[in-house]
């Protein structure tokens, strides 16, 4: 079938209409896209920031839409279902990792931007197991970025084995970070936000941030050495990570879900001496994480601070994102 | 009391006799030292490799000896006991970490080379709780480095939560590494050794190494990508750590107990993408770890490959260690 999309034909180019062919497989569903996001990371994808993108590139790894057709073997999704699709659109469901419930580690997985065209399109075809039914309460633009950004924050937080009274910080508080803040606050943690911008502070307080620390203020960072159990890095900025590792208590964890474009670098002794500190990373989440998050979002009424744009505005949105003029979430209405 | 020792008066200087005063506190024991080690790390201490040493510096953070006197409040150690002392010689035993049984995280801890003079001396005075009774079977030069080097390997391995059939590697196989190999092999793991020297291979096979991988052979490293659950870094060499992180499976751990002198550096995406890998570090261990290791060493008959030298040879031993001419453990007989 012919799919009409918007693509960057080569790195850093504006998006223009682009058509590609994809058959509807026996295990696939065809989704008519209603909303997709355009995130800061999409600008990095378009600019080939991490170097592993394929062009033409159709961006957007969160989308909501309606199922229009389904393959003969599809059993879990029906025509007419309102579904969301995130960054991962396929896993084998048979390997060791899939069987553990960690489909995001599957070696045969397919991802948007790397193996597949994304959500900035009239339609998408994906495996039924990566189309998630969206409850009616969440069928709004404010929830579109839940399926990739929300999931990434939720999975990292869930697998950090946090316990009551732990001291938690989020480094960088944009799209990904403001999901993290809300998830942590809903779990009862008081959350410190580490940021170098002060234009978002009021909004972030309302989401649950109790303390702000300026990432460029060496004195403020020093004053917090050895205080934190868990720091979640949601920014793409590069810092001297030693300053943040020093903020951790013994056995504390620094977890990267934002991926700085240059190597992270620090002395190994900051992990070892007096400490047994950990550095880890996480990306997206499992299908179980997604189902849990859909329930969690309904229960706790968390959502992205969202600006909605018509599809005719995509290149303007990308330009705004490059200038950091959209603080949190941008959603494109396609139909 | 006056203690006769051997010290480097300033960085990189030869060791010469040195006398210092220390009172016997109410909770202290005075130990007449029989054996101490001179390790590769001691040459780094003398050279101020990590930059936090105090001079004059009396090296050696593993020693065995006999208790000659004790303070009025000492209850756990008797005069005449044969004891070992490692890198840590004091903790408050009252703080949150001490109460958890993690005395090595105590903020009031005192360490050899940083706060205290070391074991290359006729005597040492330490808190009773950091003098460990050495079972008769272990009162030999081959066990002296157990109290710092053995402990460091043992604690890192114990807290890695290893499970049966995990694939394990040790990067660097000198003093620290050959303890790690023996501990892992005794626990039933088949151990890969990553090394760039081939002079030790026969000895290491006898200790339990089943596979050797040359750290300078990029092809051999590539061929093992995604294969390992746990890699323990026991070397002070600097590598491109990306190569080793790529050897890890999803959720695998790279743990530093050897501390390279230059920053470790790698792309954060190697931790996050498809992976949730971890980088951690560990140093020495708790008092419980030490007691467990003393039992473990007796049960499994593990010991250091050791060369014994008279104290008159200390500067020669340091020179041999600088040239990497002592492959594993060097013990100085003091009395």
- Single out the residue of A329, A334, A333 nearest to residue A143, CA to CA: A329
Q: Is the dihedral of CA A159, A165, A170, A173 positive or negative?
A: positive
Reply yes or no on whether the pLDDT at B49 is more than 90. Answer: no
CA angle (B272 as vertex; B268, B275 as ends), nearest 5: 130
Let me know if residue A292 belongs to a domain: no
Structure tokens at B288: 């419980």
Angle between the B287-300 and B175-186 helix axes, to the nearest 10 degrees? 70
pTM summary value: 0.95
Model confidence pLDDT, tens digit, residues B272-327: 988 999 999 999 999 999 999 999 999 999 999 999 999 999 999 999 999 999 99
- pLDDT for A156 equals 98
8-state DSSP, A57: B
Model confidence pLDDT, tens digit, residues B25-46: 999 999 999 999 999 989 999 9
- pLDDT for A123 equals 98
Q: In sequence order, which residues have a C-beta less than 8 Å from that of residue B320 and are 6 or more positions away?
A: B326, B330
- Looking at the fold, whether A177 and A85 belong to one and the same domain comes out as no
Mutate to test the interface with B, among A281, A282, A286, A289 (most CBs of B within 10 A): A281
8-state DSSP, B55: S
Structure tokens at B250: 């999803």
Let me know if residue A289 belongs to a domain: no
Q: Are A303 and A143 in contact (CB under 8 A)?
A: yes
Structure tokens at A286: 């499992």
CB nearest A272 (choices: B269, B278, B282) = B282
Q: Which residues of B touch A279 (CB under 8 A)?
A: 271, 278-280
Q: Is the dihedral of CA B288, B289, B294, B300 positive or negative?
A: positive
- pLDDT for A197 equals 84
Q: Of the residues B241, B266, B281, which one is the last residue of a structural domain?
A: B281
- pLDDT for A49 equals 81
Q: What is the mean pLDDT of chain B?
A: 96
B267/A272 CB distance under 8 A: no
Q: In sequence order, which residues have a C-beta less than 8 Å from that of residue A203 and are 6 or more positions away?
A: A178, A305, A327, A328
Report the CATH number at residue B126: 3.90.180.10
The domain in which residue A318 lies consists of: 2-148+303-333
- Looking at the fold, whether B253 and B182 belong to one and the same domain comes out as yes
d(CA B16, CA B5): 8
Rounded to the nearest 10 degrees, how much is the dihedral formed by the CA atoms of B64, B69, B72, B75? 40
- pLDDT for A177 equals 97
SS (H, E, C) A179-202: HHHHHHHHCCCCEEEEECCCCCHH
Let me know if residue A295 belongs to a domain: no
* Largest CA-CA distance found in chain A, in angstroms, rounded: 62
Calculate the CA B52 to chain-centre distance: 18
Q: Of the residues B261, B281, B301, which one is the last residue of a structural domain?
A: B281
Query: Closest approach of chain A CAs to the CA of B327, in angstroms?
Result: 24
B265/A265 CB distance under 8 A: yes
- pLDDT for B17 equals 98
Q: Are A157 and A183 in contact (CB under 8 A)?
A: yes
Q: Are B255 and B160 in contact (CB under 8 A)?
A: yes
- Looking at the fold, whether A181 and A256 belong to one and the same domain comes out as yes
Q: Are B148 and B284 in contact (CB under 8 A)?
A: yes
Q: In sequence order, which residues have a C-beta less than 8 Å from that of residue A99 and are 6 or more positions away?
A: none
Phi, psi of A304 (to 5 degrees): -80, 140
Residue in chain B nearest A159 by alpha carbon: B276
Model confidence pLDDT, tens digit, residues A248-289: 999 999 999 998 889 999 999 999 988 999 999 999 999 999
Question: Which residue matches tokens 């230059």?
Answer: B262
d(CA B130, CA A227): 27
Q: In sequence order, which residues have a C-beta less than 8 Å from that of residue B276 and are 6 or more positions away?
A: A105, A159, A280, A281, A282, A283, B250, B251
d(CA A234, CA A176): 6
- Single out the residue of B190, B184, B247 nearest to residue B215, CA to CA: B247
Model confidence pLDDT, tens digit, residues B178-223: 999 999 999 999 999 999 888 899 999 999 999 999 999 999 999 9
Q: Which residues of chain A fall below pLDDT 50?
A: none
Q: Are B257 and B237 in contact (CB under 8 A)?
A: no
Q: In sequence order, which residues have a C-beta less than 8 Å from that of residue A73 and are 6 or more positions away?
A: A26, A27
- Looking at the fold, whether A18 and A137 belong to one and the same domain comes out as yes
Model confidence pLDDT, tens digit, residues A13-50: 999 999 999 999 999 999 999 999 999 989 999 998 87
Query: Closest approach of chain A CAs to the CA of B153, in angstroms?
Result: 12
Let me know if residue A293 belongs to a domain: no
Let me know if residue A181 belongs to a domain: yes
- Single out the residue of B104, B223, B221 nearest to residue B155, CA to CA: B104
- Looking at the fold, whether B65 and B80 belong to one and the same domain comes out as yes
- Looking at the fold, whether A155 and A142 belong to one and the same domain comes out as no
Q: Which residues of A touch B280 (CB under 8 A)?
A: 271, 276-279
- Single out the residue of B89, B106, B104 nearest to residue B22, CA to CA: B89
- Looking at the fold, whether A138 and A12 belong to one and the same domain comes out as yes
A266/B266 CB distance under 8 A: no
Q: Which residues of A touch B274 (CB under 8 A)?
A: 104-105, 107, 109, 283
Angle between the B149-158 and B287-300 helix axes, to the nearest 10 degrees? 100
- Looking at the fold, whether A162 and A242 belong to one and the same domain comes out as yes
Residue in chain B nearest A269 by alpha carbon: B259
CA angle (B140 as vertex; B137, B143 as ends), nearest 5: 90
- Single out the residue of A121, B273, A315, A314 nearest to residue A331, CA to CA: A314
Reply yes or no on whether the pLDDT at B157 is more than 90. Answer: yes
- Looking at the fold, whether B115 and B77 belong to one and the same domain comes out as yes
A267/B270 CB distance under 8 A: no
- pLDDT for B54 equals 85
Reply yes or no on whether the pLDDT at B249 is more than 80. Answer: yes
- Looking at the fold, whether A15 and A105 belong to one and the same domain comes out as yes
Q: Are B264 and A266 in contact (CB under 8 A)?
A: yes
Question: Which residue matches tokens 């509807």?
Answer: A24
Query: Closest approach of chain A CAs to the CA of B97, in angstroms?
Result: 9
A275/B264 CB distance under 8 A: no
Q: How many residues does chain A have?
A: 335
Phi, psi of A318 (to 5 degrees): -60, -40
Report the CATH number at residue B204: 3.40.50.720
Structure tokens at B35: 């054996």
Q: Are A254 and A248 in contact (CB under 8 A)?
A: yes
Q: Are B111 and B88 in contact (CB under 8 A)?
A: yes
- Looking at the fold, whether A27 and A141 belong to one and the same domain comes out as yes
- Looking at the fold, whether B116 and B205 belong to one and the same domain comes out as no
Q: Are A239 and A215 in contact (CB under 8 A)?
A: yes
* Overall number of domains in chain A: 2
Rounded mean pLDDT of B68-82?
Answer: 98
Number of H-type helices and E-type strands within chain A: 10, 18
């Amino acid at each position: 079938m012919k799919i009409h999309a918007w693509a960057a034909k080569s790195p850093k180019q504006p998006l223009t209409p682009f058509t590609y062919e994809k058959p509807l497989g026996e295990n696939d569903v065809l989704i008519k896209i209603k909303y997709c996001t355009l995130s800061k990371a999409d600008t990095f994808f378009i600019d080939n920031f991490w170097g592993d993108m394929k062009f033409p590139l159709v961006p957007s790894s969160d989308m909501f839409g309606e199922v229009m057709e389904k393959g003969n073997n599809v059993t879990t999704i029906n025509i007419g279902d309102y579904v969301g699709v995130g960054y991962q659109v396929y896993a084998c469901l048979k390997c060791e990792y899939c069987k553990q419930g960690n489909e995001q580690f599957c070696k045969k997985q397919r991802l948007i931007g790397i193996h597949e065209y994304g959500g900035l399109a009239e339609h998408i075809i994906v495996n039924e197991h990566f189309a998630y039914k969206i409850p009616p309460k969440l069928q709004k633009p404010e929830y579109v970025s839940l399926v990739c950004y929300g999931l990434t924050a939720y999975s990292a937080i869930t697998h950090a084995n946090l316990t009551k009274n732990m001291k938690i910080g989020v480094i960088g508080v944009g799209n990904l970070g403001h999901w993290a803040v809300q998830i942590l606050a809903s779990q009862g943690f008081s959350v410190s936000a580490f940021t170098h911008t002060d234009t978002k502070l009021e909004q972030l307080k309302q989401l649950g941030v109790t303390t702000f620390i300026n990432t460029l203020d060496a004195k403020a960072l020093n004053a917090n050495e050895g205080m934190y159990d868990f720091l979640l890095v949601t920014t793409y900025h590069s810092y001297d990570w030693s300053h943040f590792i020093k903020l951790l208590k013994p056995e504390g964890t620094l977890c990267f879900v934002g991926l700085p474009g240059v190597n992270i670098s620090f002395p190994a002794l900051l992990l070892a001496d007096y400490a047994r500190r950990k550095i880890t990373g996480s990306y997206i989440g499992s299908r179980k994480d997604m189902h849990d998050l859909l329930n969690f979002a309904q229960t706790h009424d968390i959502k992205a601070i969202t600006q909605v744009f018509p599809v005719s505005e995509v290149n303007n949105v990308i330009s705004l994102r490059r200038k950091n003029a959209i603080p949190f979430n941008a959603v494109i209405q396609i139909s």
